[in-house]
Structure 1
Amino acid sequence: MKLPSLLATGVLALLPALAPLPARAHFQLLFSPETMIEHPGDVAVGLIFWHPFENGQAMNMAKPEQFFAINRGKRIDLEATLTPRRFRGAENAADAWQGSVPVKRAGDYVLVTVPAPYYEETEEIYIQQIAKSFLNRGAFPTDWNKPVGLPAEIVPLDKPYNIPAGATFTGRVLSAGKPVAGAEIEVEYLAAAPDLKAFATTEPTTAPLPGGALVVTSDENGYFTFGVPRAGFWGFAALGVGPQRRFKGKELSQDAVIWIRAWDMK
């Protein structure tokens, strides 16, 4: 697939966006510390609704509506693996979930959670962040660049689990399978990777930049590009792009979230 040039479309990393939804920095985390799996076995995953860049407030998360993985085109239902946990953040503790993925065959494991909508009282809206993250076994790519068919989704154009730090990441924002032009996409860094055994935050490795959330926008074909400045986990949330706009009589922001892993080259 050939992308239009960045200069022609105006897609630039860290370009402030003009969009009707305010930047929030709420991020649905779908986290495993290991993305490249060497041996078969169950891989623990933390499902946490949080402000990970600032190591800030954690929000109570109800049981997800869906939790599954895609491997070689087949869906693996993971809802039965979910266990309620209490996540201890730097500011507060909140309800969260822990699940696991049976990684057996080589290939990609595209992890997906469809959380229950969360009511944000300060904005008087519901937020539903449909999130994807990625595991791989055997360095054998199979599913990473294929749409899952979610109501709100970001499809990566760069392999999302081995991005070199200093390179760029490009994704495409979809709403019910159709590209979204002019989407506001928040960019988040996992500054304090959770300890899944203690189910608690750790010491942050960096602080957010001044000026609020990092934001990029999608072009007329739904593409966006971000220059990844450092190694670690990076999240992208396309705000309000899903087709469902109301829930329980109030506004619903149905967001698409994707997490990628960047590495330093040695």
Structure 2
Amino acid sequence: MLKTFIKRTAYTVAAGAALYSSVASAHLQMVYTPDLLRDRGGQITLKMPFTHPAENGHVMTVEKPEQFFVVKKGKRTELLDSVKPAKWTSNENTGESYEADVKLRGLGDYVFVYQMAPYFEKSEDLYIQQITKSIVNVGSLPTDWNEDLGLKAEIVPLTKPYAIYAGGTFTGVVKSEGKPVPFAEIEVEYVNYEPDMQKNAFAKEGKINVPADAFITMTIFADANGTFTFGIPAAGQWGFAALGVGPDKEHKGKELSQDAVIWVQAHPVK
């Protein structure tokens, strides 16, 4: 895990000038819908680009996901057949992506899990595979949000990920197949450029101005029990990626970083 962190950090510094406008840039698999807390159910669309949301960065082309399912009231429903190809546009490029239309039926938590196909990052000479959770709640009725699903790489929330005030905190436990991962390194990014659901693109202008490049991708560490807490300063969606915590370490003869990702949403205090 430390080897992967060092390698990926070295890549970020070395390749930043060539590929991106900032010194630090996290890879993050999005499973995005504008509102993670909804009054009613109905049809929603989930946009799933693999990109750099904090800086409106490069959209990476990935093969069709290996898994996509939802857990509600303990029941798992497969959704892979609902995934369809789409384009996604950033300030860097227009890249291949995926999306899915899903119907929410009834109150409670809908825990979406998206396991992307391994992506070869040539500049790092390794594969990246992220297992992403995004939890949509209907009617403020909590059901499954804090369940451990036993995924290969997973962040289990200890805070409702859809019911956080801006200025509050988010706490989670990094796990691999149900076991905590001590001292996991976690990259944190803010969705600073609002996704346009109709245009399949990020907004041209960011919502906040970062004081320095170090704030684009922030790095924190879990404690000895795999637990971390992060203070959330601004309303919107935030992504947390625990690097290299999964058990699979190799793919096609190359190193594999199997990451756990979770998305949370903070709401303004009015």
Q: TM-score, normalised by structure 2?
A: 0.89
Q: Which runs of 5 or more residues in structure 1 are unaligned?
A: 1-17
SS in 2 for 1:169: strand
- Corresponding residue of 1:258: 262
- Corresponding residue of 1:160: 161
The answer to whether the 8 Å contact 2:168/2:232 transfers is yes
Question: Once the 2 structures are TM-superposed, how far is the Cα of residue 38 of structure 1 from its aligned partner?
Answer: 2.4
SS in 2 for 1:204: coil
Question: Once the 2 structures are TM-superposed, how far is the Cα of residue 79 of structure 1 from its aligned partner?
Answer: 1.3
- Corresponding residue of 1:245: 249
SS in 2 for 1:149: coil
SS in 2 for 1:80: helix
Q: Matched residue pairs, number? A: 249
Counterpart check, 1:124 vs 2:125: yes
Q: Which runs of 5 or more residues in structure 2 are unaligned?
A: 10-24
- Corresponding residue of 1:210: 212
- Corresponding residue of 2:80: 79
More helix by share: 2
The answer to whether the 8 Å contact 1:53/1:208 transfers is no
- Corresponding residue of 2:20: none
Superposed CA deviations along residues 13-65 of structure 1, whole A, max 9, x for unmatched, are xxxxx953534511111100122222331210001100000111111121111
Moved over 6 A (4+): none
The correspondence of residues 44-63 of structure 1 with structure 2, limited to 5 A, is 44-63=45-64
The answer to whether the 8 Å contact 2:235/2:268 transfers is yes
- Corresponding residue of 1:14: none
- Corresponding residue of 1:231: 235
SS in 2 for 1:30: coil
Letter matched to residue 251 of structure 1? E
The 1:125/1:208 distance shift into structure 2, 3 A limit, reads farther
Letter matched to residue 253 of structure 1? S
The correspondence of residues 164-183 of structure 1 with structure 2, limited to 5 A, is 164-183=165-184
Q: TM-score, normalised by structure 1?
A: 0.90
- Corresponding residue of 2:8: 22
CA distance in 1, matches of 2:51, 2:191: 10
CA distance in 2, matches of 1:66, 1:60: 17
- Corresponding residue of 2:98: 97
Superposed CA deviations along residues 66-97 of structure 1, whole A, max 9, x for unmatched, are 11111111112111211100111111011000
Question: Once the 2 structures are TM-superposed, how far is the Cα of residue 172 of structure 1 from its aligned partner?
Answer: 0.3
